[in-house]
Structure 1
C-alpha cells in the first residue's frame, strides 16, 4: 500500500499532532511566562524553582513518559504533562533573563515619575523582555513539535506513530513521511513565532504604529493556525468519540502485534456498530499496557502466556516449563478483572540464531554448542531481552554464555545490525519473518529453558459486560492462526511491505465460521 492510499491515516496523525503540540504550547506559554515573572520578583522561590526545572529537563523524555504511566496512565494526559514540563525550561529562562536584562535606570526613572509596580511591569519590564520571551518561545515550539513525535509510544497519537510503525514493520516510506511531517510542523511553527519576534520591539505585538502590512504579516499566519486547529478539532471530533460506543484496541510495538491488533479491530468493526480506537505500537509492551488495562485506558490486546506468567502474575515456571493456561486465566480474572478469550493457535517463543553461512554453523546446532564457542560471537538483542528475568539474565544461569561483546538495541533494529555484520548471533521470535529473509539458523534449546509464549486475546471484563457480543466475536478467533501462518503474515508486512490493515483484512476473508 503506497502513501497516497494511506492519506486518511496520515491526515488523522497530522490532526492529532497539531492539537497535541498546540495545546501543549498554549499551556507552556502561559505557565512559563507566569513562573518566569514570579521567580524574577521572588529571589527565595528562584533558588528552588529554577534548579527543579533544570533537573526535570535532564530526565530523558522517554523515561518521563514511562514514569508517569503509574500515575496518569497512557495517552493524552501523560503526553500533555511531559510536553508541558519539558517546555517550561526555555520559557521560564527566557522570561526571567529578559526581565533581568532590563536597564535598572529605566526602572528607577519610571518609579521616580510615580509609576506603580504594576505599571512598571506593564510598561517597562514586559515590553523590553518580550524579544527574549519570543526567542525562547521559538525554541519551545520546535522542541514541543519534536517531542510530540515520541508521544506515540504511549498511545497519544501524532505523526510519531508513522515513524515507529515504519521502524516496527521495516517500512522506510512511513519513517520518511512521518519525519517530514514533523519537520514541516516544526519549521512552520518556528516561522510563525518568528513573525512576532521580528516585530516585537517595534509593535509590542499590537502597537498603533504598525502599518497594515506589518499587522497582516502577524495576523494572517495566526488566523491560519486557528483555522487549521478548528479544522482538526472538527475532523477528529473527540466529543463524539467520548459519547459513542467505543473499544480501545492496543498493541505492542512489533509487526506481529500491529497485525493482530488490526485483526481484532476489524473483526469488531465488521460485525458491530462499535467504534474501535486503535492504540498501536505502545512502547514498553506489557510493562505499560498492563497498567493501562487496569486503569481502563485500554480495553483489549494480544498477550503471550510466558510473558503473562512471569511478568504479570509473577509466578515461577513449573519444572517442565509448561504453563497451565487454565490457572493463568483464573489468576487474571481474580486479580485483575481481565479475561483471556482463548489462544490464537501459535507459539511465538524466544530463540537464538546464527547465520547459516557462518564458518561454524555446521557444528553449532544447540544453545550449548553456542555457549561453548560464544567467545567468537557478538550477540545482539533488544533492551527488553537483557532486562527480563525470563530472558538473558536467566538464560546465562542455564547456559554459560561468554560472548565477545553484547550489543543492546531497539527490537526492530537487531536484524538490520545482523545484516550489516555488526552482530553475528541474535535473539529471535519463532514467528519472525526475518528468519527466512536473512537465512538464519535457529538453534535448539536443548535444556528447554524458554517457556511457551502462546498468543491469546486479553480483554477487560467490564467491556464484556458492556458489549457481550464482542466476547463471542473474538473467542471465535481461537486456534485460527498457526505459527507458520503468523510467520507468513509477518512476512507480508515486513518483506512485501503490505500494511497491517491490508494483511488483516485479507486474513479475515479466509476464515470460515
Structure 2
C-alpha cells in the first residue's frame, strides 16, 4: 500500500475514528451516500459506486475520485471504510462497488504472490497483466504511499536501528503492531522473516497505520508499527521509518482499480486527469488537513480538485 499520515495523538485518533464512522452501516459494502445501490447489490448501470479501504488517506482519495466524476456529469455514490483488500476486491467483482483507489505494489502482490517487480514502471506493467476480468487498472499517478516499519526515536537509539535489517538481532525482544492481515500478507510478517530474517517476540493486532497503531507506538504498547510513509505524525513525533534496502516494500503508486463494465471513456478520462495531477506531497497535505486540521474529507477533496483545475 505507503507510497500507507499535527495535533496531539488523542485528537488525531478522534479525527480518524470519526472518519471511520462515515460508512455507518453494519454491512461495509452498503451505500454510503445517495440511494440507488442496496447492500451487496450492483448499482444502476449509469451510476459509479466508489469504495474505499478503512483508512484515512484512502477515504480522501475515494472522495477525490467521486467528486472528479461528478464534475464530468457522472452519477456517483460512495461506500466508504469497507475494510481490507480481502473484503473489497470481491465487492468489485460482484458489482457491489465499481471503483476504488489502490496502491500498485500491494495490489500486484494480492493478484500475484510470486511477483518480483520493484520499480514503479515494472510494478505497473506487471499489475496490468495480473489484473484479470472483470477488473482493470487505469493510469497510475506519481503519488506514492508505502508501508514502513516505524519505531520511536528512543527505540531507534537504544538498538541502533536504521534499517529493517538492523531488527534481525533484536526483534525477539520487541512487539510489532499492525493490522490483522499483516500476519499473512507477502509484505507482512512472512516477508519480514523471509527477506530480512526478522521475527518479532509478539504481534499485536491493531489497524492499518491508524490511531490504534499510532497511539500504541507513542505509549510504548508496541515497539514497532506498520505506518504509512505519508503519515504526518512520523515527522511530528520524530519517529524513525526504517530503511528498506532489500525492497520488501515495492513501488506503491496510487492507481484506480475499476470494474471494466463501468470504465467508460468519460470515467477513464476523469480519473486519468486526477492521476496526472496527484503527487506524494499532495497525499501528505491531504492527510494533514483531514487528520490534523479536522477538515471534512469531501471538502478537502473538492478543494484539491479546484486547485488542480479539475472541478
TM-score when scaled to structure 1?
Answer: 0.51
Equivalent position of 1:280 in the other structure: 80
Q: Are positions 1:339 and 2:139 aligned together?
A: no
Aligned to 1:256: 57
Q: Which residue of 2 aligns with 1:418?
A: 217
RMSD between aligned residues: 3.0
Q: Which structure: larger Rg? A: 1
- Aligned residue for 2:198? 401
Match of 1:508 in 2: 305
Contact preservation (8 Å) 1:244, 1:275: no
1:359 and 1:315 map into 2 onto residues whose CA distance is: 31
Counterpart for residue 156 of structure 1: 30
What SS class does the counterpart of residue 427 from structure 1 fall into?
strand
C-alpha distance in 2, partners of 1:461/1:236? 22
Structure 1 regions of 5+ residues with no counterpart?
A: 1-12, 18-148, 162-234
Instruction: Work out which structure has the larger RCO, using CA pairs closer than 8 Å and 6 or more positions apart in sequence.
Output: 2
Corresponding residue to 2:115 among 317, 321, 324: 317
Indicate yes or no: 2:251 matched with 1:452: yes
Equivalent residues of 1:433, 1:494 under 8 A apart:
no
Q: How does 1:111-510 map to 2 (within 5 A)?
A: 149-151=25-27, 154-156=28-30, 245-272=46-73, 274-283=74-83, 285-312=84-111, 314-318=112-116, 323-332=122-131, 335-358=132-155, 360=157, 363-411=160-208, 412=210, 413-465=212-264, 468-510=265-307
- Count of equivalent residues: 285
CA 389–320 in structure 1, closer or farther in 2 if over 3 Å, else same: closer
For each residue in 1:129-175, what CA deviation from the matched residue of structure 2 results, as whole angstroms up to 9, or x when unmatched?
Answer: xxxxxxxxxxxxxxxxxxxx532xx22258xx9xxxxxxxxxxxxxx
SS at match of 1:426: strand
Is contact 2:43-2:96 (8 Å) kept? Answer: no
In structure 1, what is the Cα distance between the partners aligned to 2:136 and 2:187?
Answer: 23
Task: Provide Cα deviations, 1:210-258, integer angstroms capped at 9, x if missing partner.
Answer: xxxxxxxxxxxxxxxxxxxxxxxxx95879x966831101111110111
User: Cα–Cα, structure 1 residues 348 and 434, in superposed 2: closer, same or farther, change >3 Å?
Assistant: same
1:389 is displaced (CA, Å) by: 2.2
What is the alpha-carbon distance in structure 2 between the residues aligned to residue 317 and residue 479 of structure 1? 26
Which residue is equivalent to 1:68? none
> Partner of 1:52 in structure 2?
none
- In the aligned structure 2, how far is the partner of 1:428 from the partner of 1:321? 21
Q: Which has a greater percent of helix?
A: 1
**Residue of structure 2 equivalent to 1:102:** none
- Matches for 1:53-72 after TM superposition, within 5 Å: none
Aligned runs of 1:86-101 on 2, under 5 Å?
Answer: none
CA-to-partner distance for each residue in 1:12-55, whole Å, 9 max, x for gaps? x8xx98xxxxxxxxxxxxxxxxxxxxxxxxxxxxxxxxxxxxxx
Relative distance call for 1:451 and 1:243 in structure 2 (3 A) is closer
Runs of 4+ in 1 over 3 A off after TM superposition: 235-239, 241-245, 319-324
User: Structure 1 pair 319/304, CA: closer, same or farther in 2 (3 Å)?
Assistant: closer
3-state SS of 1:308 partner: helix
Whole-Å separation in 2 of the counterparts to 1:509 and 1:503? 10
Is the Cα contact below 8 Å between 2:163 and 2:242 reproduced in 1?
yes
TM-score by length of 2: 0.81
Secondary structure at the aligned position of 2:155 is classed as coil
Q: Is the 8 A contact 1:354 1:426 kept in 2?
A: yes
Where 2:68 maps in the other structure, the secondary structure is helix
The runs of 5 or more residues in structure 2 that have no matched partner are 1-21
Deviations 1:164-194 (A, max 9, x none): xxxxxxxxxxxxxxxxxxxxxxxxxxxxxxx
